[in-house]
Amino acid sequence: MTPERPAPQRDPQPGIVIARPFGIPVYISPYWFVIAGLFILLYANSLEQSVSGNLRYLVSTAFVVLLYASVLVHELSHCMVARAFGLPVRRILLYPLGGFSEIEKEAPTPAREFLVSAAGPVVSLALAAAGFGLSRAVPAGTAHVLVVQLVWANLLVGLFNLLPGLPLDGGRMLRAGIWKVTRRPSTATLAAAWAGRVLAGALLIVPFVLFARNSNSTAVFDSAWLAVIAAFMWFGAGQAIRVTKVRERLPGLQARLLARRAIPIQASLPLAEAIRRADAAQARALVVVDHEDKPIAIVNESAVMATPPQRRPWIEAGSLARTLDESLVLSADLSGMALLEAVRKSPAPEYLLVEPSGKVFGVLAARDLDHAFARG
């Protein structure tokens, strides 16, 4: 499964690095070992009628290991095709329900999007076919059972990911097709995501039907597995919808439109007088300047609001100001993702906006940015 490809960030390590095939770090979630152990026990119980004694635990373990090995090969296929198209690959994550490749850029065309997404299922089905051929040559016994498990693992991974709904590969292939027809990637993503939610809802019905018809250990295992997969698909599709809506709002986020008019003041000016001057100038921000009229700080709005009116004549405005450093001075031309990234890198309540010439344009309040984003 391929992800929604978020912008690269400096985040904590997501797990344990178990390999670096082709230089791509592969992380495995610590929770994987717990869930894998649970699956081994449940699957071994379901094999009680077909595999004798403790051998069923060996077969069950082999199936789980082969299943995740198949997932890894599947994800590597996405990564290799993405790299061939010049798309940087950050890492592969394996977690209890499968895995995904973090590809740091969107494919620039629907055709490339389709090929990157299709690579995983194609390779998984090819491995299943190869395993089927091998199973015809391996004599009956444990080795034959393991080869058959390999076939089923890859067949399961390949076919499941071909389902036409996000966050699965089939959903991304559907998205590529709709993108090609409509020429609107956002519309394509929303359509494929809602298709994923419909599939998740349909898949969620299956466990109840299975359990109602048969309540033995096999039915319990199958029902639990399908219910978890349905939940995964629902939330994954929901994430795709949220990300798309965020991207649609980005063009409306422009620093110039969100800026507050600001007036320069000296740090020693009483707060009450500074507020009076701002009201007279119809300004909503106070910028502290030095003796050369160079901006050195921004008066914090929250601190001003928290100061009782009767105390404001006796408090210097500069005492409620935050000193400006380079990260709090932003270009007034910033917009969209560039604006969000600049704010994310240096969280603060206010930022000074300047023209390319260096002249002060105004003040951007983080609260105003949040409100604009929520309204979008």
Instruction: Kindly report which listed range (29-38, 39-48, 165-174, 342-351) carries the lowest average pLDDT score.
Output: 39-48
Token pair for 88: 């940087």
Position with higher pLDDT, 147 vs 206: 147
Q: Residues 6 or more apart from 235 whose CB is under 8 A from it? A: none
Other CB atoms within a 10 A radius of the CB of residue 124 amount to: 26
Token pair for 220: 């319990």
Q: Give the pLDDT mean for 100-115.
A: 92
At 371, the pLDDT band (50, 70, 90 cuts) reads: confident
Residue 108: pLDDT above 70? yes
323 class by beta-carbon count within 10 Å (0-12 exposed, 13-18 middle, 19+ buried): exposed
Residue 299: pLDDT above 90? yes
Residue 236: pLDDT above 80? yes
Instruction: Kindly report which listed range (120-134, 142-156, 185-199, 339-353) carries the lowest average pLDDT score.
Output: 142-156
Look at strands 321-323 and 360-365 and give their pairing.
unpaired
Residue-wise pLDDT for 115-163, tens only, equals 999 999 999 999 999 999 998 888 877 678 778 878 988 898 899 999 9
Q: What is the amino acid identity at position 98?
A: G
Residue 220: pLDDT above 90? no
The winner for highest mean pLDDT among 27-36, 230-239, 270-279 is: 270-279
Instruction: Kindly report which listed range (39-53, 133-147, 186-200, 275-289) carries the lowest average pLDDT score.
Output: 39-53
Position with higher pLDDT, 258 vs 217: 258
Instruction: Kindly report which listed range (55-59, 69-73, 268-272, 361-365) carries the lowest average pLDDT score.
Output: 55-59
How far is residue 307's CA from residue 84's CA, in Å, rounded to a whole number? 60
* CA proximity to 329, closest of 255, 278, 266: 255
